[in-house]
Amino acid sequence: MLNIVLFGPPGAGKGTQSENIIAKYQLVHLSTGDILRSEIANGTELGREAKKLMDQGLLVPDEVVIGMISNKLDANKDAKGFIFDGFPRTVAQAEALDTLLASKDASISMMIALEVDNEELMKRLLLRGKDSGRPDDANPDIIRKRIEEYNNKTAPVANFYKAQEKFKSIHGIGSIEEIFGKISGTIDAR
Ligand code: B4P
């Protein structure tokens, strides 16, 4: 199985590059952001609770996202592998993911981290906010809060995968094709 964690700050290109990775390697896409937005669109209780946090740029509680991922893994038993996009976002989520995968005799193959500076992140997210309808993209203060949450809670997840020698860093500025070329080179060299 090929199981990839795609990592990086908000706006680094995770969702964008996930589409390219799935098309080339036929992996199942598990984006916690997309799953949460679909819960919000369906007006579920989970979606209502998540929206309050997401609109402020805050992370949703670990147990909520871990439960969502567990359900998706169970629903895709025959998958060739998974791309985890926006998950794990805390060390507790990373530990839970290892446990979930071990119970299926599987493990993470690698973490690919997209490195992009704050100024470029702000530019990309405000641009997307013009037509995405995402309240968390429309306001610079909320974007700054998301970057702060990333630095405080998510950045330490890189050390978790460095300790397992699974961490691969990629410079995330340039054209989408150029960056995908570097990502697929890293995957193919495994
Ligand atoms: P996500 O949906 O994961 O959103 P994101 O961090 O903004 O990244 P995304 O993948 O959408 O953007 P991308 O970088 O591709 O999370 C949203 C919220 O959900 C979080 O703030 C949190 O509240 C909650 N959440 C999600 N997962 C959670 C978890 N595990 N635990 C707790 N809470 C969780 O792209 C951004 C823009 O850049 C796009 O417009 C794109 O076109 C552009 N772009 C991409 N590559 C580019 C390039 N090379 N050059 C120029 N522009 C580029």
Whether the CB of 13 sits within 6 Å of ligand 1: yes
pLDDT given for residue 133 in this prediction = 87
Q: Which two tokens stand for residue 161?
A: 């995968």
Average pLDDT, the chain: 96
Say whether 37 is catalytic. no
d(CA 28, CA 3): 9
Q: Which two tokens stand for residue 149?
A: 């949450």
Measured CA to CA in angstroms, residue 41 lies from 8, 68, 125 at distances of 25, 16, 21
pLDDT in tens, 17-74: 999 999 999 999 999 999 999 999 999 999 999 999 999 999 999 999 999 999 999 9
Q: What is the CATH number of domain 2-188?
A: 3.40.50.300
Ligand 1 center–CA 8 separation, angstroms:
9
pLDDT in tens, 75-86: 999 999 999 999
- Classify 60 as helix, strand or coil: coil
pLDDT given for residue 35 in this prediction = 96
Share of the chain above pLDDT 70, in %: 100
* Side chain identity at residue 160, one-letter code: F
d(CA 25, CA 69): 20
Mean per-residue pLDDT for 151-165?
A: 97
Which residues are within 8 A (CB) of 155 and not within 5 positions of it... i.e. 6 or more apart? none
Ligand 1 center–CA 49 separation, angstroms:
20
d(CA 190, CA 188): 6
Whether the CB of 11 sits within 6 Å of ligand 1: yes
pLDDT above 90 for 132 = no
Whether the CB of 148 sits within 6 Å of ligand 1: no
Which residue, among 186, 149, 170, 151, has the nearest Cα to 60 in the 3D structure? 149
Q: Which two tokens stand for residue 173?
A: 């500025």
- Give phi and psi for 122, each to the nearest 5: -60, -45
pLDDT above 90 for 110 = yes
Which residue, among 76, 77, 63, has the nearest Cα to 29 in the 3D structure? 76
Task: Please report, for the chain, the start and end positions of each structural domain, with discontinuous segments joined by +.
Answer: 2-188
pLDDT given for residue 88 in this prediction = 98
Share of the chain above pLDDT 90, in %: 96
Residue in the block written with tokens 């340039």? 174
pLDDT given for residue 54 in this prediction = 97
Mean per-residue pLDDT for 159-164?
A: 98
Q: What is the pTM of this model?
A: 0.94
- Classify 28 as helix, strand or coil: strand
